[in-house]
Structure 1
Amino acid sequence: MSSEGGVCRNEQGVLLFAFSEGYGVGSNISVELRATNNGLHHCITRGHLSILIELDSQLVIDFLAGAAIPSWKWKYLLSRIENLKLFGRVQFTNIYREGNGLADAMARIGSSSQSLTMVNKLADLPAQVRGLLFLDKVGFWAGGLLDPAFSLSGRIDPALFQLKHLQFLDLSLNAFNGAPIPDFLGSIKELRHLNLSRAGFSGIIPHQLGNLTKLVSLKLSSSSLSAKNLWWLTSLPSLKYLDMSYVNLSMASHDWVHVMNMSPSLIELKLFRCGLSYISPTLPYVNFTSLRVLDLRVNNFNSTIPNWIANISSLVSLDLSYNNFHGEVPHRFSQLPNLEELWLGSTDDNLRVDWSEFLEGSWRKLKILYLSFSQLHGGIPNSIWNITSLESLSLSFSENITGSIPRAITKLINLESLSLDGYHMHAAIPDWLYELKSLKRLTLKDCMLTGPIPAARLGGLSSLEKLYLSSNQLNGNIPAALGGLSSLQRNVSQSLFENLKKLKSLYLDSNTLLSSLIPLSMSNLTFLSHLNLSYNNLSGRIPTGNQLRTLEDPSIYIGNNGLCGPPLTEKCGSDETSQGPMPVSGDVKKDEEEYEISWFYFALGPGFAIEFWAFCGILMLKKSWRIAYYRFFDEMKDRLF
């Protein structure tokens, strides 16, 4: 039996509305998508237009972000969610289900009914739910997102210890101004989830946290924290998710592997930029029987990659990039049965990949392969097309790679991102790239590409969102009909960008393009948010219509002595000819003052019950605070996607 339940309240905890509904039989993905759709609908129709949605399914988040390809049976619901997102600002992030006790209770109520139940006041909430409204979560992270003045600071009152049944404590993204983490937090015995990331704490992490024997998730990401040792973690038998990124672990460097190897319940381990310098070359046995995510980016390991890592058969994502690993990449990585993401980029070009061994494995589920800044001996072999599950391939600035790009890459029908920066082709842009129909990101910077942009070929990449062709030797014109053409314009020329309606980033800087004008129809690229046309031979008036009005940085046009008009200071002559009719935008401008801020939490419960938890904070604040909030999530989105 699948069901959903949800609640929406303002920043003071006052209930705005709640709902529950049963669905009958359904898969967890389909029901969670349906709950997302219905929850958005309920809130948007009530005027809550700026929304943060927290889901427990990372796969659903990937679907919504376009980072994973969904089954055809889910595309209808996804399209409905996309349509609802047009009414406001919607962000998605991940949360663990155990933190949503109130949503659990609402979902259980929904499982007993096949009809929608709406509750509009606290007194009408079922008794078993009402008491959870203010006690289910203690989380104060939201304040610091808007303005430092709203961040929590000062001293944490030990009275917090009196919350004997507290299971979820989130103090992240606040400003405790260098205060130490209170020892008494280790006495809140019922805690399942503790998040102190980027909260302004500093000093040594107290070993008393090892007393939280029921802890499932621990997040301590902060560059101001350090640890003398990590042995206290061995007292946390239920720990599944550990994130200590940025924490200074240099004093614990020698034995951290052995500590983690005593935590068989770990599912995710993130130790990004922790100052670790040693990784055990051997282990008597591998006890990481549940580990799915291992993130060791940007540490100081100066050794070969240990072979025992290739024995963690449960691994889904492995990131060893930007360390000082050297020697051969273990070819046994290809035998990991569940591996979907492999990140091995090096900082010193000492990491070597033997293609003949590396590609001989099964690679049954691999989606992301990142080998940038590595030594790749020989050309890219045709056998690479055997990794048919591949969605992202990055070989940028790799040493010793020779030969042309094999056309066999076009058999990677799921490929969405291709990065080959620094691959010196000394040739024109390959005319077969248009066959990569799923491609969303193509980066060919500094590839010594020559000749014109093949409009008729690349124009077939209708899903393309980001195109980087910087620092090449491309010449000719920017295609005259840039952006979607009207029926009257299509007879002028076939354009590279005629079908690229989804393009968000376009980099053509540092080439020798000779177009006399920037096509006015470029403004039809309504999703365009990043543009660089600097250091070419462009001239004429810079178009200002529609989306181009938002690109106000003059540096994106510098190095083109013939350009004039805003945002440059050079004015155009009054007799300059027009570049054509201004495209008419179909967008409806939303009044920024209508936006509110809402937080929504989704989780997946037992029996495929979907819980919908919403916190709708209605903020009548000045414009600068809202801008700070939106900028924060824009930066987070750029890092994640």
Structure 2
Amino acid sequence: MPILTDLDISWNSLNGSIPLSMGNLQALMTLVISNNHLSGEIPQFWNKMPSLYIVDMSNNSLSGTIPRSLGSLTTLRFLVLSNNNLSGELPSHLQNCRALESLDLGDNKFSGNIPSWIGETMPSLLILALRSNFFSGNIPSEICALSALHILDLSHNNVSGFIPPCFRNLSGFKSELLDDDIARYEGRLNLDSKGRAIEYYHSLYLVNSLDLSCNNLSGEIPIELTSLLKLGTLNLSSNNLGGTIPEKIGNLQWLETLDLSRNKLSGPIPLSMASITFLVHLNLSHNNLSGKIPTGNQLQTLIDPSIYQGNLALCGFPLTNECHDNNGTNPTGKGEDKDDEDGDDSELPWFFVSMGLGFIIGHWGVCGTLVIKKSWRYAYFRFVDKMKDRLLLAVALNVARLTRKV
């Protein structure tokens, strides 16, 4: 089939190795042989297929290293080799694939450092997924040059060092990716989101995810991460990160998943976190956080106590331990009632003083006037006598009326 351009035999039960004769398909542009039971090494025939822009061999049992001839595919845009048994370091000849938009090598046995040339030679990269391998060393600062990046997954490796502050240059996390930015092909990608593993397909352009979890990263969470305004998932769990949670974490208004669990973070939970209105999964457990848990807005819907477990100095809802002030008293509830009672006791003498003054002023305001002004005194007593006579007359008439009825 010398003019065949697209070959998709995925999702079958094919086994054995990839045949060398496949290299005769010189017009091939799309090769998808994923989700089979293929084994053995990847053949060295890729320089015979110069038009390839999609290669998906994921979810098989392929072993060995990435062949050198793959680097001859200068038009390659999507390389998906995830979930195999591939090993070794990433070969430098891959840097010839300058048109790559998606590089997914997750769930293999690759080792060595993350190459710096990824950031130097692949300016169009939208997806970089290296999860679940044996990569070590630091995160190269050259990755910060990948301004189009929307998904960066380095989780479940042995990466160490600091999170580069230059991540603020990843402007792809500051904008939404349009559906025509990944044209014709997306493939499938497994990501940890919303507290579980999710397989994305046909919607990868909607995902903005930064996952550095399960590594040996240290230092503080750089405040520069709070400038990645369109970030949907931020997972830094299971590292050795210290310091405090950045106060401006509330700037990440698009966050749906925030996982900072199993680190060495300390200090209070920033109040700004309550303003992240799209947050559906939060995990701050097993740190050294302290103080009162913020309330209000979205945090009122996240009522699972396990979100905060392992932080012995945290208090307040939804935990059972109440917050206390520096004197060991509860700032709410019974403590306030006692303070109010003490305040009432201190004001009690003034109540009697004011009541006595009121009686004296009221009494002498009336009686003093009658004593001083004679005409008013006569008029007052005539009025009293007249009212007394009317009252006595009314009583006498009612008594007589009742007597006649009897």
Alignment correspondent of 2:71? 234
Change (3 A) 1:214 1:440: farther
Residue 234 of structure 2 aligns to a residue whose secondary structure is strand
Q: Does 1:172 align with 2:10?
A: yes
Cα offset for 1:282?
4.3
Aligned residue number for residue 365 of structure 1: 230
| Counterpart pick for 1:200 among 23, 37, 52 | 37
Query: Cα gap change, 1:410/1:222 in structure 2, threshold over 3 Å: closer, same or farther?
Result: same
Q: Say whether the 8 Å CA contact 2:42–2:66 is kept in structure 1.
A: no
Which runs of no fewer than 5 residues in structure 2 stay unpaired? Answer: 174-207, 323-406
* Displacement after TM superposition at 1:316 (Å): 1.2
- Distance verdict in 2 for CA 1:222–1:367, change over 3 Å: closer
- Corresponding residue number in structure 1 for 2:217: 351
Which amino acid letter does the alignment assign opposite residue 99 of structure 2? S
Aligned to 1:314, the other structure's residue is in SS state coil
Q: Report Cα offsets for 1:566-598 as digits up to 9, x if no partner.
A: xxxxxxxxxxxxxxxxxxxxxxxxxxxxxxxxx
Change (3 A) 1:226 1:401: same
* Separation of aligned partners in 1, 2:77 and 2:299: 38
Contact residue 422 and residue 444 of structure 1 kept, 8 A = no
Q: 73, 89, 97: which one pairs with 1:263?
A: 97
Paired residue type of 1:354 = E
**1:169 shift after superposition:** 2.2
SS in 1 for 2:14: coil
**1:438–1:170 distance in 2 versus 1, CA, 3 Å:** farther
What displacement does 1:436 show? 4.5
Please list, as runs of the form range in 1=range in 2, the aligned pairs for 1:289-368 lying within 5 A after superposition.
Answer: 289-339=123-173, 340-347=208-215, 350-355=216-221, 357-359=222-224, 362-368=227-233
Cα separation, partners in 2 of 1:441 and 1:239, compared to 1, 3 Å:
farther
> Which of these two proteins has the greater Rg computed from alpha carbons?
2
Q: Tell me how far 1:434 sits from its aligned partner.
A: 4.4
Residue 438 of structure 1: CA displacement? 8.8
Residues 1:394 and 2:268 are matched in the alignment: no
Instruction: Supply the AA of the counterpart residue of 2:11.
Output: L
Specify the code of the residue in structure 2 equivalent to 1:432. T
1:286 aligned residue (116, 120, 125): 120
**Alignment map for 1:156-555 (pairs within 5 Å):** 162=1, 164-177=2-15, 179-222=16-59, 224-251=61-88, 253=89, 255-256=90-91, 258-279=92-113, 282-283=116-117, 286-339=120-173, 340-347=208-215, 350-355=216-221, 357-359=222-224, 362-398=227-263, 400-423=264-287, 430=293, 432=295, 434-436=297-299, 444=307, 446-447=309-310
1:318 counterpart SS class? strand
Shift of 1:250: 2.2
Higher relative contact order (CA 8 A, sep 6+): 1
1:453 is displaced (CA, Å) by 7.2
SS of structure 1 residue aligned to 2:267: coil
Distance change (3 Å), C-alpha of 1:295 and 1:169: same
Q: Please state how far the C-alpha of 1:327 moved relative to its aligned partner.
A: 1.2
Distance 1:368 1:261 in 2: 28
SS of the residue corresponding to residue 242 of structure 1 reads strand
Q: CA deviation at 1:261?
A: 1.7
1:295 touches 1:318 (CA, 8 Å); kept in 2? yes
Native 8 Å contact 2:167 2:225 kept in 1: no
Cα contact 2:211–2:234 (8 A) shared by 1: yes
1:234 match: secondary structure: helix
What's the TM-score once normalised by structure 2's chain length? 0.62
- Whole-Å Cα distance in 2 between the matches of residues 338 and 277 of structure 1? 27
Larger fraction in helix = 2
- For residues 300-358 of structure 1, the C-alpha deviation after alignment (integer angstroms, 9 at most, x for no partner) is 122111111112222111111111111111110122111332111134xx302423x44
The Cα offsets for residues 481-501 of structure 1, whole Å up to 9 and x where unpaired, read as xxxxxxxxxxxxxxxxxxxxx
Structure 2 equivalent of residue 110 of structure 1: none
Task: Give the Cα separation in 2 of the matches to 1:391 and 1:353.
Answer: 25
Q: What is the CA–CA distance in structure 2 between the aligned matches of 1:452 and 1:411, rounded to whole Å? A: 18
Query: Does the C-alpha gap of structure 1 residues 451 and 265 become closer, same or farther in structure 2, counting only changes over 3 Å?
Result: closer
What are the residue-to-residue correspondences of 1:610-625 with 2, within 5 Å? none
Please report how far the alpha carbon of residue 190 of structure 1 lies from its aligned counterpart in structure 2 after TM superposition: 3.1
Displacement after TM superposition at 1:202 (Å): 0.8
User: How large is the Cα RMSD of the aligned pairs?
Assistant: 3.3
Conservation of the 8 A alpha-carbon contact between 2:268 and 2:290: no
Counterpart amino acid of residue 420 in structure 1: L
Q: Shift of residue 409 of structure 1?
A: 0.3
Q: Deviations over 1:40-67 (max 9, x none)?
A: xxxxxxxxxxxxxxxxxxxxxxxxxxxx
For residues 263 and 229 of structure 1, the distance between their equivalents in structure 2, rounded to whole angstroms, comes to 13
User: Does the CA contact (< 8 Å) of 1:414 and 1:438 recur in 2?
Assistant: no
Query: In structure 1, what is the Cα distance between the partners aligned to 2:118 and 2:105?
Result: 22
The residue matched to 1:261 in structure 2 has which SS?
Answer: helix
Residues 406 and 237 from structure 1, CA distance in 2 versus in 1: closer, same or farther, beyond 3 angstroms? same
Task: Report deviation, 1:293.
Answer: 0.3
Counterpart-to-counterpart distance in 2, 1:265 and 1:289:
8
User: TM-score, normalised on structure 1?
Assistant: 0.41
Give the Å deviation of 1:212: 2.3
Identity rate, percent: 31
**Partners of 1:231 and 1:435 in 2: CA distance:** 51
* Inter-partner Cα distance in structure 1 for 2:144 and 2:96: 18
The letter for the 2-side match of 1:219 is: D
- Unaligned segments of structure 1, at least 5 residues: 1-161, 455-471, 476-641
After superposition, the Cα gap between the structure-2 partners of 1:190 and 1:433, relative to the gap in structure 1 and judged at 3 Å, is farther
Structure 2 CA distance, aligned partners of 1:183 and 1:442? 57
Paired AA for residue 225 in structure 1: L
d(CA) in 1 for partners of 2:164, 2:72: 33
